[in-house]
Every structure is written in structure tokens, then in C-alpha cells.
Chain A
Amino acid sequence: MSVTDKIFEIIAEQAVLETSDVTMESTLEDLGIDSLGLVESIFAIEEEFDITVPFNANEPTNSDLDISSVSKIIEGVERLLKEQAG
């Protein structure tokens, strides 16, 4: 399963939706994911990909991961995977 598919799954599960309801352009807000849901999603991403996502809930827009849309999250995770490989 690709990074994209896995992230779609994680986000859909958090939003209690089908993966088909999630699009690249969706924002977490569109999907009804609140700040707690976001922290849980990031935890799930870290566990799934065995990476560390630098994220502080006090400054969500100032973190190393751009969370403004699903596609941005995927881009960020792919970058972190490369950076943290090996």
C-alpha cells in the first residue's frame, strides 16, 4: 500500500468516514477532525511509518508538517520518510 493510501486510511478512520470520502484537497476541518483528532492522526502516522513528526498543538501552523490539506500532509510525510530513512 502506498504512503498516500495509508494516510487516506488513517485520516478516514479518524474522521469516521469511508476512504472514498477523503480527497487530496480535503482539509482536516472539512473532514471534521478537531485538535484532539489531529494529535491522534499524527500519532497514527508516526506509528504506521515509524517516523517522528515534530508537532506542537500550541502552534499547529508553525510545525514541521504542513497540515493544511491531505495532499500537504502526504508531501510532508514523504519528506520526513526520506529525511529519517536509515
Chain B
Amino acid sequence: MREVGGASVYAYTGSRAFDAALPTIVFAHGAANDHGVWALQSRYFAHHGRNVLALDLPGHGRSGGKPLASVEAIAEWLVALLDTARVERAALVGHSLGALAVLEAAGRHPERVEKIALLGPAVPMPVSDVLLDAAKADDHLAYELITSWSFSAGHQLGGNALPGVWMTGNALHLMERSRPGALYVDLLACHRYAGGLSAASKVRCPALLILGQRDLMAPPKNAAALSAALADQRIFSLPDCGHSLMTEAPDAVLDALRDFLRPQAPSQLSI
């Protein structure tokens, strides 16, 4: 547990001590979630030669402070976290709101970012009025709507690759544990973020987009402009997957991340 901006920060490390000699991967979660959404993927990298910092964003999970009100603020916070951790360059992996923050951070601070992986991104990422209104009122309906829209029809009835865990129930109850108002702040940050294409044009590192073909929260078509604006990008598209990619297709996501984040010889680095 360290402090960034005067508030404590929790990062899951896969029960491994930080090793300055190893490359680092930072994972940023989506709205009203926490580090646990990356459990399988982050643990893999932590035990395969990487430092892993699977974060609880400010005002989420075990981290202190208040949720940050804009994607830009989260992006700057991510870089401040790298400073605190004394990490010069890192690969950044983000989901949904976290993907937007990773994109913005890579656009603002290209020298600090080795690669970016964006899961369930959309630029822009408008949020419906009914969801925003429910979140603003801290109405449980907001969690129910997100759960309903975040899993493909096939996964609404389960069939989890992780034995014994009911996917939609787990997602719902994780959101229920978020602090009052956190979901609204997160969703509003997504809704108001207008700098995605500008940030994408400034990204200098390789980018991976992982898209769910059945994603209703961030439909894959809404990533087309983003994809076009990124100079060095590749798309990994998952059939029968909604927005909860890491849960719905944990192995496929891990394989895509593993291939993309495979260490390169220094001469092959893009920057």
C-alpha cells in the first residue's frame, strides 16, 4: 500500500515482491470494479517474469481517496503512480473506463508507456440517461442494468470457465460493494470523455484492442474510429463475448495479452 496524491493506493501484485529488474504491467479496472476483475490474467504475469500492479483506482476497492472525475485525471494519476513506484516505463492494460484512462495516459506521456492493451474500449463512450440517472441516485437498478448489458446472451446463464463461480452474480455483488456515488462518477467520466481520438493520434507505442462482438456497453463498432487513429494497432475480436471479457473468455484474453506483451529485444521496441 503506497500513497499517490495524498491517498493510499492498493495494487495486487500476485503475492510477489516488486523487482526493479523486471518489466512492469499496470492493470486498470472499469467502473465500480476493482483489481479482482484481472485475477487470472494479472496472476499469470506476476508469475511469469513481470511486476504486476493490478490497481484499485482512487475511491475504489482497497484504495483511499475519492473517485476521480475525469478520464484525464485518472490518466495523470496512473503516471503519478508510476512515479511513486519508480517505474520508468510500463505496459498499461485497461478495461472500459480503465481503457480510456490508459489511452489518455499513453497519449499524454508516450515516453512512459511501452504498450497499451485496451479491453472493451469505445470512443466516444456515451452512457444512456437511464443508467446515468440510476447511478446518480445510487439506485440498485444501475448495477442490474450494467450486469444485464455486460454479458453476452450466452453467458447470462453461466458456463463459467472458472469452476463454481456464477459470473453475473459475482459481477453484480462486486459493484454493490463500491462506495456510494462511485459508479456515477465513473460513468460520467466515460460519458464526458471527448479526447479519445486526439489521445490515440499521440500514442507512439503498439496498441492491442480486445473487443467483444456481443458487447452492448461498448459496441465494437464504436472502436472503429479509435482503431483508425492509432498508428500501430491490432484487434483481437472475441465472438460470443460481451463487455466482461476477462470473465467471459479468461484464457483467450490472457493468450492475447501474453502474445502482445511478450518482451521484445531492445532494437524492436517501437519508441
Q: Do A and B come from one complex?
A: no
